[in-house]
């Protein structure tokens, strides 16, 4: 959780608290000239750098000479014999959560890592000293937000406790609070009534893992190189996807990259206990950590995969050293602004998209750029919320449609498609009328 002070303009809040410390929080902080200092664990996940991410990085990335991702040029499938079936030529930049996180950190607070060994220095505001720029913000780790409420003089009071229990509850005052605290957002729970944006299980899970590309055969590497490759098993309620992401220290050099594997499988809620119970007997609710998947469960998954997946996928799956599993869940908050715009909900805290459209990171960047316009006075709070919620709802509907298409019978997918296209048509009309930004659609 970062607390910052700024006094560059009367339109910019002087004290801002960003609840959370992941990609969305860093993007919000970056456009607001903020700083943080902690390091989260690796997510072992691939991310797609969408147009708004590239816009944000184009303006704020001062380490742009270091490659951030790998260009994917073709969306394709393979048949059961492993033969490629080209579908669509694309131009997407595929990166990893770690590479993007440390790129943002390098620009945000100058953190030196193996990803960015020589980060750019602090960026002082006009008339500000280097020392002041370095000390402009405080980042507090091990803190949990337990309440947010109005305070005197139009400010917001944030109640926090130290998770170690060594320090009692404290109160912080802010002009603006950004809830960027992810799917289990405390900020959302405080302001959004139960039932309106509850996290729900979509009745399927994702098995994930990465493999150094040189561990794969030459033939398999050639199939997956520069491509996003799907294999769909409608009858089994499953589909798999593989693509390249940066390797150690963010390397994009051929031979040093990773093959990112994901297998989606339908699992009824009553059948989750076995796969979500790790090797130590701990039952996880949403995500099981790497290195703790029960060996027998993973062996069963690989045995099942061998019967239905093409050989290139089986080869990659067999070489995954640290698999992990998580439930596919989603929700969408109908609100994103509270307490007259002094509390804003952003990123995965505002809506959790299903992963099939690779848009969550772009959603975070889009919202960060809107927040920049808000604090500059180019948007009022009502317009900011309208732009955020309209775009978020559209892409949430699209992610649900894609998930239903891959995992459910055609009739179910068709219903989701009709719902999505109805929302898309409405948003196009709003864009034509000038009510909605073109970036929102």
**Cβ neighbours for 187, distance < 8 A, ≥ 6 positions apart:** 19, 145, 148, 177, 179, 181, 343, 345, 349
Higher local confidence (pLDDT), 2 or 203: 203
pLDDT at 394: 97
pLDDT at 207: 97
pLDDT at 265: 97
pLDDT tens-place string over residues 239-260: 999 999 999 999 999 999 999 9
What is the Cα–Cα distance from 159 to 167, expressed in whole angstroms?
Answer: 12
Q: Interior CA angle at 4 toward 189 and 348, to 5°? A: 35
Q: Which of 15, 4, 50 is nearest to 23 (CA)?
A: 50
| Residue 12 predicted with pLDDT over 70 | no
| Residue 9 predicted with pLDDT over 60 | no
pLDDT at 29: 84
Higher local confidence (pLDDT), 7 or 424: 424
Q: Distance of CA 8 to CAs 5, 17, 262, 375, Å? A: 10, 17, 46, 11
Q: Which of 51-65, 162-176, 196-210 is least confident?
A: 162-176
Mean pLDDT, the chain, rounded, equals 90
In which element (H, E) is residue 161 found?
strand 156-162
Higher local confidence (pLDDT), 225 or 37: 225
What is the Cα–Cα distance from 370 to 24, expressed in whole angstroms?
Answer: 13
Query: What is the pTM assigned to this prediction?
Result: 0.91
Positions of CATH 3.50.50.60 in the chain: 2-35+122-193+333-427
Other C-beta atoms closer than 10 Å to the C-beta of 242 total 25
Q: Which of 34-43, 184-193, 251-260 is least confident?
A: 34-43
pLDDT tens-place string over residues 119-166: 987 777 777 777 777 666 555 667 889 999 999 888 999 998 887 776
Q: Domain 2-35+122-193+333-427 carries which CATH code?
A: 3.50.50.60
Going 416 to 184 to 438 to 49, the CA torsion angle's sign is negative
DSSP state of 11: T
pLDDT tens-place string over residues 264-322: 999 999 999 999 999 999 999 999 988 899 999 999 999 999 999 999 999 999 999 99
Going 396 to 400 to 406 to 407, the CA torsion angle's sign is positive
For the 200-329 domain, the top CATH level (class) is alpha beta
| Residue 2 predicted with pLDDT over 60 | no
Sorting pLDDT into bands at 50, 70 and 90, what band is 38? very low
User: What are 282's two structure tokens?
Assistant: 């701990």
Positions of CATH 3.30.9.60 in the chain: 200-329
What is the Cα–Cα distance from 243 to 224, expressed in whole angstroms?
Answer: 6
**Cβ neighbours for 198, distance < 8 A, ≥ 6 positions apart:** 331
What is the mean predicted confidence (pLDDT) over 85-94?
92
pLDDT at 1: 54
């Amino acid at each position: 959780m970062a607390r910052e002070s700024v006094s560059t303009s009367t339109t910019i809040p002087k004290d801002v608290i960003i609840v959370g410390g992941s990609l969305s929080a860093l993007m919000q902080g970056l456009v607001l000239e903020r700083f943080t200092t902690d390091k989260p664990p690796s997510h072992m996940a691939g991310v797609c750098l969408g147009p708004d991410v590239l816009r944000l990085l184009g303006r704020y990335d001062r380490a742009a000479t270091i490659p951030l991702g790998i260009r994917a040029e073709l969306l394709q499938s393979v048949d059961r014999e492993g033969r490629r079936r080209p579908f669509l030529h694309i131009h997407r930049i595929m990166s990893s959560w770690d590479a993007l996180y440390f790129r943002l950190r390098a620009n945000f607070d100058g953190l030196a890592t193996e990803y960015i060994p020589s980060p750019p220095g602090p960026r002082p505001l006009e008339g500000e000293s280097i020392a002041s720029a370095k000390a402009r913000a405080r980042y507090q780790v091990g803190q949990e937000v337990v309440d947010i409420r109005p305070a005197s003089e139009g400010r917001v009071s944030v109640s926090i406790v130290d998770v170690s229990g060594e320090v009692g509850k404290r109160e912080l005052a802010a002009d603006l609070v950004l809830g960027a605290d992810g799917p289990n957002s405390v900020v959302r729970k405080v302001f959004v009534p139960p039932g309106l944006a509850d996290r729900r299980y979509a009745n399927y899970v994702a098995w994930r893992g990465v493999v150094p590309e040189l561990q794969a055969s030459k033939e398999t590497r050639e199939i997956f190189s520069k491509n996003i490759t799907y294999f769909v098993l409608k009858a089994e309620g499953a589909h798999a996807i593989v693509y390249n992401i940066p390797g150690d220290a963010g390397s994009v050099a051929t031979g040093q990259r990773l093959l990112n594997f994901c297998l989606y499988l339908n699992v009824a809620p009553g059948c989750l206990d076995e796969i979500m119970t790790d090797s130590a007997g701990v039952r996880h609710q949403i995500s099981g950590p790497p290195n703790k998947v029960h060996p027998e469960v993973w062996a069963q998954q690989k045995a099942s995969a061998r019967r239905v997946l093409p050989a290139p996928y089986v080869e990659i799956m067999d070489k995954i050293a640290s698999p992990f599993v998580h439930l596919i869940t989603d929700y969408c908050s109908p609100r994103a602004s509270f307490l007259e715009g002094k509390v804003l909900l952003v990123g995965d805290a505002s809506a959790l998209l299903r992963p099939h459209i690779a848009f969550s990171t772009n959603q975070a960047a889009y919202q960060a750029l809107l927040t920049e316009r808000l604090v500059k006075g180019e948007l009022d709070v009502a317009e900011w919320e309208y732009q955020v919620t309209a775009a978020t709802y559209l892409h949430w509907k699209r992610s649900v449609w894609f998930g239903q298409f891959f995992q459910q019978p055609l009739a179910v997918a068709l219903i989701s498609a009709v719902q999505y296209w109805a929302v898309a048509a409405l948003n196009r009309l709003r864009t034509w009328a000038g009510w909605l930004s073109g970036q929102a659609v």
